[in-house]
Structure 1
């Protein structure tokens, strides 16, 4: 699965936000694109994402998506990483297309960093 960040950005609303890591959120498609490029670079362009269970809860033109994801990657130092997360996403229907407005791959574990502060 080739990295095509321009194609990926078609799935995001112009005013979307991405949780890059706990404590760091970026907003806007260009900032999100730059974050994805930096993340891919950090992991030596080796990230593989596997989708597990998924639940979608829709209310009007908004949908909450809760998804189990498995991330596998190798960083530039050759360190292999395998992370399982329960991600949360919010999508909004805009011009008959569902676009991501909140991308939070950390899900509720974001609360752990707040509690530990």
Structure 2
């Protein structure tokens, strides 16, 4: 339940986010990946995902640190699901808005034709999406 290769990919992606290296970050994703920007808002494909990360950086005043806590990685063939405690240290418009957030994220990876793992679904909100969907009903 612990794929070291995927764990290292996630750590490298977090590092790219922290450094605002969004071009480098796109290597982490498949061409048709989906990113949950927030409940009810998704980005599809690398161009939209890159734009979303740039907008998030701007929104948090270029003060975002992402890291992972405990992870559980479940693999079946060329697909893997990662459950992770994602830790966000966020600074927004003013220092008074600075805070830390812990999310129970869900990521889905698939091996591509080059035998490299790529993220196909990036959902840092995890099952919280269910709560948002229930509020829409």
Note whether the superposition's TM-score is higher than 0.5.
yes
Matches within 5 A, 1:38-57: 38-57=55-74
User: Where does structure 1 differ by over 2 angstroms across 4 or more consecutive aligned residues?
Assistant: none
Cα drift, residue 106 of structure 1: 0.2
**Is 1:22 the counterpart of 2:39 in the alignment?**
yes
CA distance in 2: counterparts of 1:24 and 1:2, whole angstroms: 24
> What runs of 5+ residues in structure 1 fail to find an aligned partner?
none
CA distance in 2: counterparts of 1:49 and 1:18, whole angstroms: 15
Q: Return the structure number with greater strand share.
A: 1
TM-score, structure 1 length as denominator? Answer: 0.96
Find 2:126's aligned residue among 96, 107, 113. Answer: 107
Q: Return the structure number with greater helix share.
A: 2
Matches within 5 A, 1:51-70: 51-70=68-87
TM-score, structure 2 length as denominator? Answer: 0.82
- 2:117 aligned residue: 98
CA distance in 1: counterparts of 2:66 and 2:60, whole angstroms: 13
Instruction: Give the superposed CA RMSD.
Output: 1.0
> What runs of 5+ residues in structure 2 fail to find an aligned partner?
1-17
Count of aligned pairs between the two proteins: 117
Secondary structure, counterpart of 1:25 in structure 2: strand
Secondary structure, counterpart of 1:73 in structure 2: strand
CA distance in 1: counterparts of 2:133 and 2:44, whole angstroms: 20
Cα drift, residue 76 of structure 1: 1.9
Secondary structure, counterpart of 1:3 in structure 2: coil
